[in-house]
Structure 1
Amino acid sequence: MNKLMKVVLLILSYLGIRPGVFFQNLRYAPAYVGDFFKFSKKRGEWKIKLYPILTDKTDQSGKARGVYFFQDLFVAHEVFRANPRRHVDIGSRIDGFVAHVASFREIEILDIRPLENSIFNVQFVQADLMKPQPQLKASTDSLSCLHTIEHFGLGRYGDPIDPDGHIKGLDSMYELLEPGGTFYFSTQIGPSCVHFNAHRVFSIQYLLDLLLSRYQYELQSFSYIDDRDQLYKNVELTEELIQSNAGCKLGCGIFILKKRL
């Protein structure tokens, strides 16, 4: 597919027009009609209302794929193993990582967006982490921020426009964590750029310079999910892997870090 076609499809999708979905549904429509008539002949007293779901015939039993699926499950398991005194999360997925952790322990969330629902084992505080949070300084021994920092300062979620938003956010998170505490951090990896206003992409070298020099974390482990959604756990950070960004253009790096005493 050439670049022009990708641009056209992207524009159509923003207008609510999805040609791929249309043609896929068209392909499976005859099977739906056939099944409908077969069922109608045997329906007995059942009243029928049409509600076509056309493509599930060829789907798998579940969607065990995608960056968020692997990332959220992996990091939630790490939190379970560590069993910290307190765990605070910054902006990770409620219906993924947060839900996983809340199934076995309490978790506190800070997010610039509101959360209207009350959720078992979840305590929520609305806060802008691009601003200092002195009342929370050194308040937790365990902190997570998964696939979130790349959005800070781009305005996508109603946050103030700030090219240094990710730096200010990481500054606040560093202050939240106690000395000796663990930081579970993930973000998009690849050649550094900003896809405005969706997200940033960071090179591995940039992230290492930031996390190990500016903030003085100790790296406990590095894992990543590549562009094909394959998870690689506890990988050695060789110079080749760093310079190639693990072969990713839009992958996900998962850093487990400890704040120096």
Structure 2
Amino acid sequence: MRTDDDDLFDAQPQSLLLTIFGAFLEPRTAPVWSGGLVAILGYFGFSTAAARIALARLVQRELAERHRKGRHVYYTLTKRSVHLLEDGDERISSLGERPGEAVTWTLVWHQLPDSRKAERSNFVRQLRFHGFGHLQDGMWASPRDYVVEVTDLVHTLGIGDAVAIFRAAPSGDVAAGPLIGHLWQLDEVAERYRRFAAKYAPLTRPREMSPREAFVTCTEMLQSFRAFADIDPELPEEWATHAGARREAIAVYREALDRLREPAAAHFRELTRT
């Protein structure tokens, strides 16, 4: 039976692998044994076949490279993948810590047809991850100056022929409320933050856990928290009606992560070494 908390952790195997690499792979250029990765995905209900397909798709997307050494197969992250993880680190670590007014907005327009569906999907995924809201067909908006970051992404994906990026200044004479409500569902964001805090608050207190339980619990929490980057635009305080719920969730996240990260990372290293 599905519960209200099920959507806090709703991961596909490729996304889950990237979260795990970002959290536990040190250095990020290190090779990782495929057998360990298959076992790890098994913890979250994915079959061996599904795990191997996920790894193959990371290679197809140029996010990982496959290597063979004797009887064993290893994967390493590509430069593009490392760049995406570093960008994600910055986004997650700074969530809720960008004070100030929305002096400069970023508007992004794209025209990527179905023949370039993969590029469009990758581009839109990253726009959402940086808190962009969907304004209308092919047009996205952020209350932050993300021109440099989006420009880098456009160059990385090779889609400069189909994208335009603008800096915009809001007019103080026009109420922003209707636009904010169109771009982001802040009541839903606040409720999701509250459910996250309630679910993971018990992890801030001492508790005995096996290495596997620490790894699974930490990974689920990381994946759940990472999803806030897709829905939280980090608006200035006067518009951020969800700010209080966010502060509570961030406090729970950081304290729980301090308790769980090291045993989880140790279990990851044990599983992925041969």
Provide the TM-score with structure 2 as the length reference.
Answer: 0.22
Q: Which has the larger radius of gyration?
A: 1
Higher relative contact order (CA 8 A, sep 6+): 2
